[in-house]
Amino acid sequence: MGSAPLFASFLQAGFECSTHKLRDGRRLDLVHSTQHDRFVDQDYLRLRDIGIRTVREGLRWHLIETEPGKYDFSSALRILDAAAQHGIEIIWDGLHFGWPDFLDIFTKEWVDAFAAFIHEFTETLRASGTSRIFIAPVNEISFLSWAGGDEDILNPFCRGRGHALKQQLVRGAVAASRVIRKELPKALLVSPEPVIHIVGDPTKPDDVRQAEEYRTAMFQSWDMIAGRLEPELGGDESLLEIIGVNFYDRNQWWNFGKTIRRGEPEYRPFREIVEEVYLRYRRPIFIAETGTENAERPGWFSYMWDESQAAIAAGVPVEGLCLYPIVNHPGWVDNRHCENGLWDYASPQGEREIYRPLELEVRKRVKTEARNQQ
């Protein structure tokens, strides 16, 4: 990859692409809810204006394969066409929390179907003529296995099956990665996972030990993909190519306790977290998701930008920072108006009101970055 920037822009945008099922059986499709599918052209023009030329987008598997083996990639093609028109580079998620209703994720058939789905997508990408291709086969294996396999809050709504779900998601990611390697040898594989920090009660050695075991479990998915852990899942070092770290303001907490906030003595600076990940894997790395809600947005963005620059100064090759999501969206479960983006809901004409305090901070940082690169 050399010393050239990995992505088209350091500051990136993520469009909320969760398509999971709710407990009552309804399908949540936030690409549709935010009307990004309808107004992708206007959205990309807005990004170009503010200095963003790399985005994260997700395939909506449930929409593309409504019947086994029958694919309709028109939803992805519209995004590909808009990206080509406006000079936007895409980091694709193959799976972002959702799959077709006719599949059981705990079966071999699910792995085979996912590999076949990704194979069809590689054909679509080849036909599109896209020159630089980034694909994250599965987004946040650790989070989905916890939320859907242990905590019963996301599909497949299980308890006590978190590790089995993690294994299955890794099998799917590995199978998809090998398909991508074969069909698109120049494509780059991305592995986004959440990073955390957990603190145990210093007066209770067992609690400290347990907190550290829980904290270091954040490496399991990456280790499995690389074949360092449970190699029978098929992982290999070559499949762990680009590391994506997802980090939010609630990613640090006391073991089985409250969130640790910035400014508290137990809070671990993000620069140290991202450095630990880099030193473990020695791969190109970027912040694949970060953000917060309401009036905290500008301050959090500034913190993450400054921590990224501090990590770079310490020798960590942080290649980008992705604001996620870039547009406000309805809450996953309660349908509330989540004010966590740079832009708000779209008008009937595709216009979106910008959140001015965050806009000012973003423009200031992008301007500084451009001046430093001159």
pLDDT per position as a tens digit, 142-187? 999 999 999 998 899 999 999 999 999 999 999 999 999 999 999 9
pLDDT per position as a tens digit, 218-243? 999 999 999 999 999 999 999 999 99
Percent pLDDT > 90 in the chain is: 89
User: What pLDDT score was predicted for residue 326?
Assistant: 98
Q: How far is CA 84 from CA 36, 41, 87, 134, 351, in A?
A: 16, 10, 5, 15, 21
d(CA 303, CA 337): 24
d(CA 42, CA 49): 11
User: Is the domain defined by 11-373 classed in CATH 3.10.520.10?
Assistant: no
Which tokens belong to 132?
């630089």
d(CA 115, CA 179): 7
User: What pLDDT score was predicted for residue 373?
Assistant: 74
Average pLDDT over residues 275-300: 98
User: Is the pLDDT score of 2 beyond 50?
Assistant: no
User: Is the pLDDT score of 1 beyond 60?
Assistant: no
CB 178, CB 233: distance < 8 Å: no
Q: Compute φ and ψ for 164, nearest 5 degrees.
A: -60, -40
User: Is the pLDDT score of 122 beyond 90?
Assistant: yes
pLDDT per position as a tens digit, 3-26? 689 999 999 999 988 777 777 777
Which tokens belong to 142?
């650790």
Domain residue ranges in the chain: 11-373
Average pLDDT over residues 278-307: 98
Sign of the dihedral through C-alpha 64, 88, 44, 5: positive
CB 279, CB 285: distance < 8 Å: no
- How far out from the chain centre does Cα 98 lie? 14
Average pLDDT over residues 248-254: 98
pLDDT per position as a tens digit, 324-342? 999 999 987 788 999 999 9
pLDDT per position as a tens digit, 56-112? 999 999 999 999 999 999 999 999 999 999 999 999 999 998 899 999 999 999 999
Q: Average pLDDT of the chain?
A: 95
CB 148, CB 155: distance < 8 Å: yes
Percent pLDDT > 70 in the chain is: 99
User: Which contiguous run of DSSP H or E holds residue 112?
Assistant: helix 108-128
SS3 110: helix
